[in-house]
Structure 1
Amino acid sequence: MFRRTFWFTTGVAAGVWATTKVNRKLKQLTPESLARTAGNKAIEAGQRLKDRAVDFALDVRDNMAVREAELGDALGINENPELPAPRRYAAIENRSNPKYVDRTTYSYNRNEDH
């Protein structure tokens, strides 16, 4: 009698376990779950790509600074601090320049002249 009870209980437990596993797998294969999984993997891949791009940009910037220093030493630019300052261009035109036109007196309303 105990043998039958043991095997019956074992069979019920195996059936419950198998049913649970199958139901979990079916839930993983639903379109919503597959879309969520694909989205998460795409986000992870994008993050990894972004991290690699940032690392690459930092490496390029470091190597660029090293190469710029090498070129400066080779050309003698770093040795002579009396070089003229680089030219700077004004972002806004100079009002004392004769090319400057004061546009505050002109109206931009097209219908005003008609």
Structure 2
Amino acid sequence: MSRLFWFAAGAAAGVFAVRKAGQVVHQATPAGIGENVGNGLRELAGALGSFGAEVRAGMSERENELQESVERQTGFTPGKYSTEPAPRRGTGARARRADG
């Protein structure tokens, strides 16, 4: 029984070693290197996307803080339009040419 156990353990270790060696050899081939580069680029793209989302969220939060600060200090709400109509200008309000 002991011999059978050690035989099976040796066979399992051999299979494990052969599979690991095959994986290492595959990583050294051009296809394996391409897979590694592709995986790295996908990871980098995901990290850049996350970074961009965090930057946008931070910008939005800061913009809200600034708007609240302006409204608190001046009483003016940025981004809201006045209900009063804009003053009308006559035809004489146009810019004149420098030469004439």
Which TM-score band (shorter chain)? 0.5 to 0.7
Describe the shift of the 1:82–1:57 C-alpha distance in structure 2 as closer, same or farther (beyond 3 A).
closer
- Output the CA distance in 1 between the equivalents of 2:34 and 2:22: 18
- Output the CA distance in 2 between the equivalents of 1:82 and 1:20: 70
Report the residue type matching 1:39 in the other structure. G
Which range moved further: 20-29 or 48-57? 20-29
Is it true that 1:23 corresponds to 2:22 in the alignment?
yes
Aligned to 1:57, the other structure's residue is in SS state helix
Report the residue type matching 2:35 in the other structure. R
Identity of aligned residues (%): 19
Describe the shift of the 1:18–1:71 C-alpha distance in structure 2 as closer, same or farther (beyond 3 A).
same
- Output the CA distance in 1 between the equivalents of 2:51 and 2:81: 41
Shift of 1:23: 2.2
Which range moved further: 14-23 or 27-36? 14-23
Shift of 1:32: 0.8
Runs of 4+ with deviation above 4 angstroms: 14-17, 84-87
Which segments of 5 or more consecutive residues in structure 1 lack a partner in the other structure? 88-114
Describe the shift of the 1:17–1:47 C-alpha distance in structure 2 as closer, same or farther (beyond 3 A).
closer
TM-score, length basis structure 1: 0.53
Higher helix share goes to which structure?
2
Q: How well do the aligned residues superpose, as a CA RMSD in angstroms?
A: 3.5
Is it true that 1:72 corresponds to 2:68 in the alignment?
no
Aligned pairs, number: 83
Match in the other structure for 1:101: none
Shift of 1:83: 3.8
Describe the shift of the 1:16–1:84 C-alpha distance in structure 2 as closer, same or farther (beyond 3 A).
closer
Larger Cα Rg: Structure 1 or Structure 2?
Answer: 1
TM-score, length basis structure 2: 0.58
- Output the CA distance in 1 between the equivalents of 2:18 and 2:51: 43
Is it true that 1:53 corresponds to 2:52 in the alignment?
yes
- Output the CA distance in 1 between the equivalents of 2:85 and 2:39: 50
The superposition leaves residues 48-68 of structure 1 with CA deviations (integer Å, 9 ceiling, x where unpaired) of: 111121111111112101211
